[in-house]
């Protein structure tokens, strides 16, 4: 069968495209997903759960060999930072099936900046209709919200919050930060109940659940291939004519009138480069025939740099219920650092910092630069489709990002010393997603036993608890030491900073005369025919938001552009 559209990637964007493009019965669509597919209502419990961390750290849903560098020049290591495993989703629905279900859009300024950077028609007025189209907001109506979209959005009611969340809001009020009722309303500084992509019956509402429901899957013009790798795009001259896939030990070619790459900001540029679209010299170095020399492919890698400050929670302040939301409250503020704009910092108050016995005892301020300026790059390690790309985020390479992160750590330390919060959250300490923490965070029986022992130690009186925290979690680093010593702060931040699983920008939209642009404002790849990209990689810059809802918005908008051609 020849398809009208072949979509390479069944993540958030791919699910949207598959739904919208098959609305016309005559349009035949093939959706290819590298990971497992789950029929609606048959998803595993950890994916359906409102508490996301078990799914987020379940190796069954990850690319097994994807390793990245967060920083290039590490102050504590010769030759740069080590390679780190990255939990990138490999499952139907992509990140929306394992992420924190945060449903925020970002600032109107973000999308006006997209338009200024060459993405014509992607200013706030151009994207708002698609934010409304994707959602069914359970709490708010009016000109900013939709009521009949596939993704249900709600906020956890205050009577369901744990003690830590209530104490955080009091401390924020004491600090002068006001409440905003609607996180996706007027974009201002303040704290708010988190908007989440979550059903009122308290389970995840992923892009796969919302867009690939039973009715959509029943369409005769939609074919889904799961557990299938896309090796490369096939070209006839400069015209894309199909894809080569690998499944069950066999490579096979599928023909399509148009190919849409929707494999995420790390794998979409990788597929393009393996197919001959990218920086010419780089492709030649890997023995790849150049179809289109586009220097921007893999460049402009955006990410929100993140780190945390955590504290031991008194038992009556914890979130003890299994499967319940862990983050009820978040806030944004303006750092007032020169050249960084407004609303440039974001903090999520996390009432349960991991799935295990230690995590349930910890409350955290997970903080990140909402408007980062550092940029990284994705490149090939080889031309072989089985090899993962070379990924360097270069977090904190722009000094503005480092300075704001250090300032944010100091602000969070002051919050933990607020009289209301300090009653329920004891012994705050610097917390990072180190390789050690990552290994303990993997969901398995060994880690369940180990963390149960450590959790019991943490319940002992203060000196024993602090010794356990400093020995097993921070490995000797204390909040006092990094707050009193700028060199210690810099070393800890650069060693501990990670991304927020928000990679974007590596196939960015822009004007045709911009050599670093990869696609036009409809996702069409410059220099070739019948090839598009549609996912977070086309963002000109990362918005002040978790990236899932903006990605779904992009796919809604590009679907309309395709159907109007």
Please, which residues have CB within 8 angstroms of residue 476's CB and are 6 or more apart in sequence?
Answer: 470
Please state the separation of Cα 308 from the chain's center in Å: 17
Scanning the structure block, which residue is given the tokens 């609607």? 182
Q: How far is CA 88 from CA 35, 78, 94, 441, 561, in A?
A: 11, 27, 8, 15, 29
Please, which residues have CB within 8 angstroms of residue 543's CB and are 6 or more apart in sequence?
Answer: 105, 106, 107, 110, 111, 550
What is the sign, positive or negative, of the torsion defined by CA atoms of 167, 332, 134, 221? negative
Q: How far is CA 393 from CA 94, 198, 437, 551, in A?
A: 20, 30, 20, 20
**Candidate list 62, 166, 356, 502, residue with the active-site label:** 502
Give the sheet arrangement for strand 135-137, strand by strand: 135-137, 151-154, 196-199, 203-204
Q: Are 88 and 264 in contact (CB under 8 A)?
A: yes
Please, which residues have CB within 8 angstroms of residue 485's CB and are 6 or more apart in sequence?
Answer: none
Nearest residue to 537 (alpha-carbon basis) of 330, 366, 389, 385: 389
Please, which residues have CB within 8 angstroms of residue 216's CB and are 6 or more apart in sequence?
Answer: 18, 19, 22, 222
Cα angle 6, 7, 12; round to 5:
160
> How far apart (Å, rounded) are the C-alpha atoms in residues 208 and 268?
19
What is the sign, positive or negative, of the torsion defined by CA atoms of 365, 369, 374, 376? positive
Cα angle 56, 58, 59; round to 5:
120
The question of whether 502 is a catalytic residue gets the answer: yes
> How far apart (Å, rounded) are the C-alpha atoms in residues 314 and 417?
15
SS (H, E, C) 486-512: HHHHHHHHHHHCECCCCCECCCCECCC
> How far apart (Å, rounded) are the C-alpha atoms in residues 416 and 308?
12
Nearest residue to 488 (alpha-carbon basis) of 497, 498, 479: 479
Largest CA distance in the chain: 71
Question: Could you give the residue numbers annotated as active site?
Answer: 502
């Amino acid at each position: 069968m020849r398809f009208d559209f072949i979509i390479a990637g069944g993540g958030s964007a791919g699910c949207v495209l598959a739904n919208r493009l098959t609305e016309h019965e005559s349009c035949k669509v093939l959706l290819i997903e590298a990971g497992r597919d789950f029929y609606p209502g048959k998803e595993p419990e950890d994916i359906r759960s409102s508490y996301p961390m078990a799914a987020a750290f379940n190796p069954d849903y990850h690319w097994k060999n994807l390793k990245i560098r967060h920083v290039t020049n590490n102050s504590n290591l010769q030759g740069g930072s080590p390679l780190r495993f990255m939990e990138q989703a490999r499952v139907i629905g992509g990140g929306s099936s394992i992420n924190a279900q945060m449903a925020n859009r970002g600032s109107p300024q973000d999308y006006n900046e997209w338009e200024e950077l060459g993405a014509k028609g992607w200013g706030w007025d151009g994207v708002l209709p698609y934010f409304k189209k994707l959602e069914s907001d359970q709490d708010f109506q009016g000109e900013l919200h939709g009521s009949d979209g596939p993704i249900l959005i709600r906020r956890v009611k205050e009577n369901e919050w744990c003690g830590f969340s209530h104490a955080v809001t009091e401390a924020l009020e004491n600090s002068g930060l006001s409440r905003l009722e609607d996180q996706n309303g007027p974009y201002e500084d303040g704290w708010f109940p988190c908007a989440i992509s979550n059903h009122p019956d308290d389970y995840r509402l992923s892009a796969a659940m919302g867009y690939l429901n039973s009715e959509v899957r029943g369409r005769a013009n939609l074919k889904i291939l799961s557990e299938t790798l896309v090796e490369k795009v096939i070209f006839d001259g400069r015209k894309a004519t199909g894809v080569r896939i690998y499944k069950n030990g066999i490579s096979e070619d599928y023909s399509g009138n148009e190919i849409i790459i929707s494999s995420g900001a790390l794998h979409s540029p990788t597929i393009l480069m393996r197919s001959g679209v990218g920086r010419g010299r780089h492709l030649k170095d890997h023995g790849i025939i150049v179809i289109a020399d586009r220097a921007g492919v893999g460049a402009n890698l955006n990410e929100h740099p993140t780190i945390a400050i955590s504290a031991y929670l008194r038992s009556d302040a914890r979130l003890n219920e299994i499967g319940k939301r862990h983050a009820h409250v978040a806030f944004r503020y303006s750092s007032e650092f020169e050249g960084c704009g407004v609303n440039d910092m974001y903090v999520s108050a996390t009432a349960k910092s991991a799935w295990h016995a230690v995590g349930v005892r910890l409350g955290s301020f997970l903080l990140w630069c909402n408007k980062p300026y550092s940029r990284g790059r994705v490149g090939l390690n080889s031309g072989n489709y089985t090899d993962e790309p070379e990924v360097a985020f270069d977090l904190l390479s722009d000094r503005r990002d480092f300075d704001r992160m250090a300032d944010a750590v100091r602000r969070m330390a002051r919050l933990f010393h607020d009289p209301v919060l300090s009653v329920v959250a004891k012994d705050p300490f610097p917390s990072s997603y180190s390789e050690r923490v990552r290994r303990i965070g993997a969901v398995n029986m060994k880690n369940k036993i180990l963390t149960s022992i450590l959790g019991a130690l943490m319940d002992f009186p203060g000196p024993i608890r602090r010794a356990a925290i400093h020995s097993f979690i921070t490995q000797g680093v204390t909040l006092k030491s990094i707050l009193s010593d700028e060199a210690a702060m810099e070393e800890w931040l650069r060693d501990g900073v990670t991304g927020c699983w928000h990679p974007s920008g590596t196939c960015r939209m822009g004007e045709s005369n911009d050599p670093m642009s990869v696609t036009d404002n409809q996702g069409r790849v410059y220099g070739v025919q019948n090839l598009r990209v549609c996912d977070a990689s086309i963002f000109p810059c990362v918005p002040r938001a978790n990236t899932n809802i903006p990605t779904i918005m992009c796919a809604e908008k590009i679907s309309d552009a395709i159907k109007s051609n």
